[in-house]
Structure 1
Amino acid sequence: MANSKYEYVKAFERENYLLPETYIVIRVDGKGFHKFSQHYNFAKPNDLQALQVMNAAALEIMKRYSDVQLAYGDSDEYSFLLRRKCDLYERREMKLCTLFASLMATFYTLFWNKAHPERPIELEQVPTFDARAVSYPSFEIVRDYFSWRQVDCHINNLYNTTFWGLVKKGMTPQEAEQRLSGTVSSDKNEILFKDCGVNYNNEPEIYKKGTILVREFDEYKSEATPVTAVSSRQRQKQDKLRRKARIEKVHVDIINNNPWWDARPWLRE
């Protein structure tokens, strides 16, 4: 209805454009995944197949959008780093958030059904996600953001591993919670080893450190030209190069790991 008398309603719409020349991080979180995991009988403390479904969904998003340089995920969340010069959807916050949340829900359902044909997604419990987009002015803050998420992964996983270790040894959930009240990391490691016979250092890296998906370039050339000065043809060429870059999946410690970050200068672009 272009140019109709009803078009005035568009004047009520408001867009929030994320700041240009800043890094964008979009974090997608599962909504109500506690009930979701109970409904589909997730293994405790970690369900490897569920994590693999999350990783597959995040990887598919990275394949479709070359502006995503890195993604980090654990449990029911994933954080996507969009390059500083990204102009996807003109950097409109609502567009980006709804896009990533809906794609994650769609791909999660698709890959879940492929992995679990015996228990497909049911209408009573469908996977839903929300998303937030944040602009960060410096790469140092970006590194601190991903360090924060990995620290959070470690803290939560150590607690959950110890909690469920005690429950499996015969404690009630209430007793296990009380046993862990006021403990620090060293206490939990000792409880795990002495009471549960588990050496936390031997737990799979995917549980302790989460999963990192990162674009890797064999030959990298800096995109030093300001985005406003890049022609449409140049943009297409750069996009093609990014799409050709392989996406690696790793489980490494990125907290304060300067060499890991410094070896990938394209993450700063």
Structure 2
Amino acid sequence: MKFDELDDKMRVYENSQDRCVLPNMYIVARIDGRSFTKLTKEVHKFKAPFDEKFRDLMVETVKHLMNCGFNVIYGFTESDEISLLFHLKETVFSRKTRKYISILAGEASAKFSSLLGDAGAFDCRLSELPNKQLVEDYFRWRNEDAHRNALNAHCYWRLRKDNFSQSEATSKIEGMSTADKNELLFQYGINFNDLPNWQKRGIGIYWIDSKKESFNPKTKEKVIVNRRELFTDFELPMRDDYNQFIKEIIERSEKPNH
């Protein structure tokens, strides 16, 4: 059998599960750390419940993903997860889902591992959303998940520091209302509202236009140039304001030259 015949024969099996995201569907990728509790709490012992070094590793991983060949208009990270919103007209790899999933998981794992100096693996899944409202709701969901997780994490680790066992701390906060959890922290002298917003709302990364001073070697003069760069936002809004924030990012991306 000639190679071309063999190639055609076998590629049918390799490509049989290929599917593409339909045009005019918004693509959102969620990339999650695999076994990160063990990696960050046992192997590398980052501070609990939040560690600025780990936060910065995740932010740099998001920035890498937004610069690795896809047209990503917004990135969001909380804890060990990342969400990416692609431009509506993104067509790279013909919108094949297997390409997006495998490349994003691989790029995230490689970048994070190189920054950490140890192996850290991520998985990836895609949401295919038919309208802007669902995109807004997706990111509001992750934003509010960050708030819930932050409250639980602060309660859990405060109890652990007070010599509660893992099971005792988990059992104590299980089923508690939000008000009760806030009261628990207050009893330890912690006002949850005063904690850093990046812990409670997650972190947004998006493109902004900026002006930078540069040098023209031909005229030997200083000039001002327009540049597009990534901005890291540690003060994201919440609830309806966050919906509006996401809506504006989408609408800005749909203008010419974006």
TM-score bucket of the superposed structures, by smaller chain: 0.7 to 0.9
Residue 62 of structure 1 and its aligned partner are, at CA, apart by 1.0
1:72 aligns with 2:76: yes
Tell me which of the two structures has the higher relative contact order, counting C-alpha pairs closer than 8 angstroms and 6 or more residues apart.
1
CA distance in 1, matches of 2:182, 2:79: 21
Give the alignment partner of residue 21 of structure 2, picking from 18, 25, 33: 18
Distance in structure 1 (CA, Å) of the matches to 2:122 and 2:80: 9
Residue equivalent to 2:89: 85
Task: State the match for 1:159 in structure 2.
Answer: 152
Instruction: Give, as a single letter, the amino acid of the residue that structure 1 aligns with 2:32.
Output: D
Amino acid at match of 2:53: Q
In structure 2, which of residues 207, 216, 220 is the aligned counterpart of residue 215 of structure 1? 207
Comparing 98-107 with 200-209, greater Cα deviation is found at 200-209
- 1:72-109: CA deviation from partner (whole Å, max 9, x where unpaired): 11111101000110001110000011111000011101
Equivalent in 102, 125, 129 of residue 98 of structure 1: 102
In terms of fraction of residues, the more strand-rich structure is 2
Alignment of 1:216-255 (within 5 A): 216-217=208-209, 244-251=227-234, 252-255=236-239
Spell out, residue by residue over 1:124-156, the C-alpha distance to the aligned partner (whole angstroms, 9 max, x if none): xx2111101121110110000000011111111
Once the two structures are superposed, the pairs formed by residues 185-204 of structure 1 within 5 Å of their partners are 185-194=178-187, 196-204=188-196
CA distance in 1 between partners of 2:123 and 2:136 (Å): 23
Matched, 1:174 2:162: no
1:29 aligns to what?
32
Measure the CA separation in 1 of the matches of 2:237 and 2:197: 9
Shift of 1:4: 4.0
Cα-to-partner distance string for 1:150-185 (whole Å, 9 max, x where unaligned): 111111110010111111122222222222122111
Of 167-176 and 87-96, more deviation after overlay is shown by: 167-176
Query: Which segment is superposed worse, 149-158 or 7-16?
Result: 7-16
- Deviation beyond 4 Å, 4+ runs, structure 1: none
With normalisation by structure 1, the TM-score equals 0.81
State whether residues 27 and 78 of structure 1, in contact with CA within 8 Å, keep that contact through their aligned partners in structure 2: yes
Aligned to 2:126: 133
Q: CA separation in 1, counterparts of 2:247 and 2:75?
A: 17
Q: How many residues align?
A: 234
Indicate how the Cα distance of structure 1 residues 160 and 16 shifts in structure 2: closer, same or farther if over 3 A, else same.
same
Q: 1:112 is matched with which residue?
A: 116
Distance 1:179 1:134 in 2: 35
SS in 1 for 2:67: helix
Distance 1:180 1:171 in 2: 12
- Verify the 8 A CA contact 1:163 1:177 in the aligned structure 2: yes
Partner letter of residue 111 of structure 1? Answer: L
Identify if the C-alpha distance between structure 1 residues 27 and 7 changes in structure 2 by more than 3 Å, giving closer, same or farther: same
2:67 aligned partner = 63
The 8 Å contact of residues 132 and 247 in structure 2, kept in 1 or not, is answered as: no
The alpha carbon displacement at 1:244 in A equals 4.4
Q: Percent same amino acid among aligned pairs?
A: 25
TM-score, length of structure 2 as denominator length:
0.84
Give the corresponding residue for 2:245: 260
State the partner residue of 1:229: none
